[in-house]
Every structure is written in structure tokens, then in C-alpha cells.
Amino acid sequence: MAQYNWQPLYFLLGSLLVGILIQKWVIGKLHSLAKRTRWKWDDVLTQSLGKCPVIWCLCAGGYCYLLSGQFDPSEIELAHKILVSVLIFTGMIVIGRLASGSVELLTGRTRSKLPSTTLMSNIARLLTYILGAILILQNLEIKITPMITALGIGGLAVALALEETLSNLIAGVQIVASQLVRPGDYVKLDAGYEGYVTDVKARNTTIRSFPDNNRIIVPNRTMASSIVINYSLPEENLWVDVAVGVAYDSNLEHVEAVTLDVARQVCKSVEGGISGHDPFLRYEEFGDSSINFRVRMFVRAFEDQFLIRHTFIKLLHQRFNEEGIEIPFPIRTIHVKHKEAHMVADSATPPRPPENGS
């Protein structure tokens, strides 16, 4: 009875056990230590490794078994190419994760540079995988020149078939590279859509509307060609305007002092207001029934303006009532001269009919 060779199983089980121990104790400890530090690059590195150390240990065990001298040179060469291809493949996975994490980390730390988007992360990962595929083909001694030539010939047909997809992809890269629209910015399109930009993907840009939190999906080509108002650039802080009108017989100096006092109180006490920027008031016009002016207050972000305006109108109305300042109803007084009134009345009186026998 032939005796079964258990040596390959021993190599595989031993290398698998070593890989699991390294994964659990070494990588696990490094991952726990990385979470405790403020430096983010160690988190990116430990997360990029994933389960690849186990595969690397298995490859090392298989390679050690190849060196035992029980195989033909041709079999050793083929197995060696397979093991190297597996190492390249898993290495490119780690490098792809590292590239994607680095893009997100760099763009997240520096808002003035490229924003952290799915598109940029996917492009970094895709370029890494393409490089890994080329290295694997070269390792397997597969000539890539004919493949590149075939891809070049068929590229035109693919470009024509995927014209819309490619145009959206190029527009997405343009949006990200221009730095004019970033995730987290509050934007308004010329079509009327507005909200917070959540992500820029290969085909579209997603916007979260405010305050109903609906998702608006805009093709990148439409986004790049639209007129966009970005309320978060050059800074997130912005001015809030409130239009007010008072009666003509009001003391305008007193009105200005009371209004600015209420505005300062709102900016200081209400969340989202900025007390460091003093509000200001400017009279604008003599209206039909009131003297109109506008109050401007500084707020932290776009969504803060609604609560600021709401609170300001309530407190200003209460304060005007206490101070005896009138906010008039829309009225219009028409002055008619006495002589003109008689002429109008005479012309409006119908003539008397002639008497009988006249």
C-alpha cells in the first residue's frame, strides 16, 4: 500500500497558522495602536493590509515546499510564476487601498486642495490595478504589445459607444480638479436645484437637498455646464438680509438703535450667529406706506440663516411694540382737490329728461 505524502499539507497548515497569528496578534495590535494616535497615516496603512498577510504566508509556505526538491524544473518554474502573480495581485490590492486612503486623507486634511470624492479614490485604485495587471502579464511572459494594439484599434469604437459615460467621467474630473465645487459645499444650480454636495462620482454628482434631505442626482456634464452659486466659497460664513419698514413719523435714529440692538442680541444668543461681526442697517427707499431699510447679520453657514431670521423677526416685532415703533400696513392715501371733485361730480350726474309740453 502506497504511503500518502503529508508534507505539502504540513507546509500549508504551518504557513496558514503563522499567517493567522501574524494577522491576529501583530496586525491587530498595530491596528489598535494606530487608533490611539493622532497620526492618520498609520490607520491608512494598517487598514490597507486587510487579510493579505495570511495569503503571503501561504505563498511563503508553498515556496518552501517547492525548494524541497521533489518537483521537475518545469513544474517549479510554473509554480513560481503562479506564486509571484499571487503576490503581485495581493500587493497591488494593498497599494490600491493605500492610494485610495491617501487621496481621501490628503484631500480631507486640506480643503484648499482636491476634495475627497469617490471619483478620485476610484481613479487612484484603478491606476494601481492596471499597473498590477501589466506586471502579472509580464511575469507570466505574456506579450502585452499585441493587446495594447488591439485595445488601441477597438478604443475608438468603445469611445463612440460610451460617449455619454466618458463625457460625464471627464466632466467629473474637471469638477474635482477645478476646486469650485467640493463635497460639503452648499450650491444652487441655474435649474433651481440646491443643497449640499455629498459626492462626485464617475457619472454624476449627488446633492442632498435642505431641509427635506432628498437626494438630487445631477450628471457631471450638466453640473459642469451649469451656472452654479456656491454659498460655501470663498468661505462658509455669509450675510443674512432682513427687509423691514417703519412708519413715516418714526424717529429713524431711534429705529436704527433699537434694530441693531436686537440684531446683536440674536447674533450672540442664537446658535449659528457670529457675534464678532457687528450687524449693520441701511435705509433704502421711501415706500408707499413706510420707510424701508435692510438689516444684515453674519452667520456661520447657509442653514443657520433660517433660525437667525426667524428669531430676529420675532424679537424685533416684540421690541417695536414695546418702543412704540409702528410697522404700517400697506396703505395709499389719494388727495383730491375740491374743485376737481365738483367737476367730477357734475360730469357724473346724468341729465334730466325734458318736461312735457316744453
Summarize pLDDT for 244-274 with one digit per residue, the tens.
Answer: 999 999 999 999 999 999 999 999 989 888 8
Quick count: other Cβ atoms within 10 Å of Cβ 246? 24
Judge whether residue 311 has pLDDT over 90.
Answer: yes
C-beta contacts of 149-154 below 8 A and 24+ residues apart: none
Instruction: Give the rounded percent of residues in the chain with a pLDDT score beyond 90.
Output: 20
- Determine if residue 195 is left, alpha or beta; phi over 0 gives left, psi from -120 to 50 gives alpha, anything else beta: left
pLDDT above 90 for 1: no
Q: Label residue 113 by pLDDT band (50, 70, 90).
A: very low
For every residue of the chain, which 3-state class applies, written as one string? CCCCCCHHHHHHHHHHHHHHHHHHHHHHHHHHHHHHCCCCHHHHHHHHHCCHHHHHHHHHHHHHHHCCCCCCHHHHHHHHHHHHHHHHHHHHHHHHHHHHHHHHHHHHHCCCCCCCCHHHHHHHHHHHHHHHHHHHHHHCCCCCHHHHHHHHHHHHHHHHHCHHHHHHHHHHHHHHHHCCCCCCCEEEECCCCEEEEEEECCCEEEEECCCCCCEEEEEHHHHHHCCEEECCCCCCCEEEEEEEEECCCCCHHHHHHHHHHHHHHHHHHCCCECCCCCCEEEEEEECCCCEEEEEEEEECCCCHHHHHHHHHHHHHHHHHHHHCCCCCCCCCCCCCCHHHHHHHHHHHCCCCCCCCCC
Q: How far is 44 from 116, CA to CA, in rounded Å?
A: 15
Q: Quick check: 208 pLDDT over 70? A: yes
What average pLDDT does the chain have? 79
Least confidently predicted of 44-48, 54-58, 225-229, 342-346: 342-346
State yes or no: pLDDT of 47 exceeds 70: yes
Range ranked top by mean pLDDT from 20-34, 150-164, 185-199, 332-346: 185-199
Question: Confidence band (pLDDT; 50, 70, 90) for 114?
Answer: very low
Q: What kind of fold does domain 238-323 have according to CATH?
A: Alpha-Beta Plaits (3.30.70)
pLDDT band at 168 (very low <50, low <70, confident <90, very high): confident
Rounded Cα distance between 56 and 240, Å, is 60
- What is the reported pLDDT for 23? 79
| Residue 233 main-chain phi, psi, to 5 deg | -120, 140
| Between 273 and 162, residue with greater pLDDT | 273
Please give the pLDDT value at position 296: 93
In 10 A of CB 220, how many CB atoms?
24
Q: Are the C-beta atoms of 284 and 292 separated by less than 8 Å?
A: yes
* 118-139 and 163-178 helices, crossing angle to 10°: 120
pLDDT, residue 166, reads 78
Domain borders along the chain are 7-142, 179-230, 238-323
pLDDT of residue 297: 93
Task: Give the pLDDT of residue 160.
Answer: 61
The CATH code of the domain at 179-230 is 2.30.30.60
- Distance CA(163)–CA(173), nearest Å, equals 15
Q: Do domains 179-230 and 238-323 have the same CATH topology?
A: no
Give the residue-averaged pLDDT of 196-202: 86
Tell me the CA distances in angstroms from 55 to 11, 17, 65, 245, 342, one per residue in order.
13, 11, 15, 75, 107
